[in-house]
Amino acid sequence: MAVGGLLTFAGSLVAGALAEHGTVRSLAAVAMAGFVVMIVSAFPYAKGGTARVIGASTAPEGGAVLVDNPSQAFLAELEDRS
């Protein structure tokens, strides 16, 4: 959505520069819509960030990786730490 919003914003500005004076107002509305879509697209990315998708994050002290719901194959590959 960010790329689409940016392209809509930039494209409507270019089209507005090349168009007749009567269409500038409608193209400005499209430009603003593209700008709003570009800004709003950051929220879904922040909500579904990489750590949430892969199911792992760093520990608060930064010395380890915490894995949510690891698979049995993943656990079998780990070295014994006991």
Residue 30 and residue 14 in contact, taking contact as beta carbons nearer than 8 Å: no
The token pair at 35 is: 């700008």
Q: What are the two backbone dihedrals, phi and then psi, of residue 63, each rounded to the nearest 5 degrees? A: -95, 0
Q: What is the pLDDT of residues 22-79, one digit of tens each?
A: 666 776 777 778 778 878 877 877 777 776 767 788 888 888 888 888 888 888 888 7
CA distance 5 to 79: 47
pTM exceeds 0.75 for this model = no
Instruction: Please tell me the predicted confidence (pLDDT) of residue 13.
Output: 72
Q: What are the two backbone dihedrals, phi and then psi, of residue 81, each rounded to the nearest 5 degrees? A: -110, 15
The 3-class secondary structure across 47-76, one letter per residue, is HCCHHHHHCEEECCCCCCEEECCCCHHHHH
